[in-house]
Amino acid sequence: MIWAKRRFAYAAYAPHRDRLADLQVTMPANSREFMMVGREVDDEVGLQDIYIGVPNKELLHLFEGFEIVSEGDLPKEIDAFISRTMGNLKNALRFAIFRSGVTLAGMLLNSVARATSGPNSACWKLQSP
């Protein structure tokens, strides 16, 4: 999996979220390798760093402005798992476990709240109890 990062204001990442979701449909064998997560920028209201995961480097040309980062550069904690559909909660949990130190038991102690930002879209926020 290849990871890339770009900074956005508010929900300006939405076209990229939709493109990622379309790729999941057109490439079902790789659907688990498409992810988008967000981390709010400290002291900057409305700004967040958005990280995308794609199966191969060739797909990155579809995501203008994103720059490749290593797995080691991914945030240990995320503020949002971003998905056009609600069926990707499992992927949010996989990401948390992947980045971890987070155990499955620890994830189950967190509550998951859904905030919508448009039709058929969902932003899953991982919140401490």
Tens of pLDDT, residue by residue over 7-28, are 999 989 999 999 998 998 899 8
Tens of pLDDT, residue by residue over 36-89, are 989 999 888 999 999 999 999 999 999 999 999 998 898 888 888 776 654 455
Number of domains observed in the structure of the chain: 1
Nearest by Cα to 125 from 51, 39, 15: 39
pTM: 0.71
Domain that holds residue 58: 2-127
Rounded Cα–Cα distance for residues 17 and 37 (Å): 10
Backbone angles phi, psi at 78, to 5 degrees: -120, 155
Distance (Å) of CA 49 to CA 27, 39, 84, 120, 125: 26, 5, 18, 22, 15
